[in-house]
Amino acid sequence: MGKILQVIVAGSLLLFLLGTALAKDPSPPKKTPALLSEGKKLYEQNCVTCHGSKGDGKGQLGGALKPAPTNFTLPLKEWPITKGEMSKIFDVITKGIPNTSMVKWSQLSEQERWALVYVVVEFAAPKVPTKKK
């Protein structure tokens, strides 16, 4: 009986540790041109209506939504909720934001959600002025 109890306790501990390891935040895939391209298509299909084609929160529905959609063109640290942290942006895309119009997009694959993270973060990237000739 003592050996059986030890096996059960050891097995339970192993399952707990394995479950905890698997439940950690997913690590982002490598940012590649293909992943960015995929993200841009997904953004156009799913996000532009509210966040706008420029990521400024001025999509067709953006003005009517309260609170207004995030303006991704702001510096990352000024983004509400996520403050530009990649894992938090991923969480918002995955889970949505309660009591807002930001719905969850958990039906998208993990890779697709990371592709969207990379795209929205690019809206905040400093723009390099073009030189006039």
- Please name each of the domains of the chain with its CATH number: 29-124 (1.10.760.10)
Q: What is the pLDDT along the chain (133 residues), one digit of tens a residue?
A: 566 655 454 555 445 554 444 455 568 999 999 999 999 999 999 999 999 999 999 999 999 999 999 999 999 999 999 998 999 999 999 999 999 999 999 999 999 999 999 999 999 977 766 666 6
* Dihedral sign for Cα atoms in the order 86, 88, 89, 91: positive
* pLDDT tens column, 8-38: 545 554 455 544 444 555 689 999 999 999 9
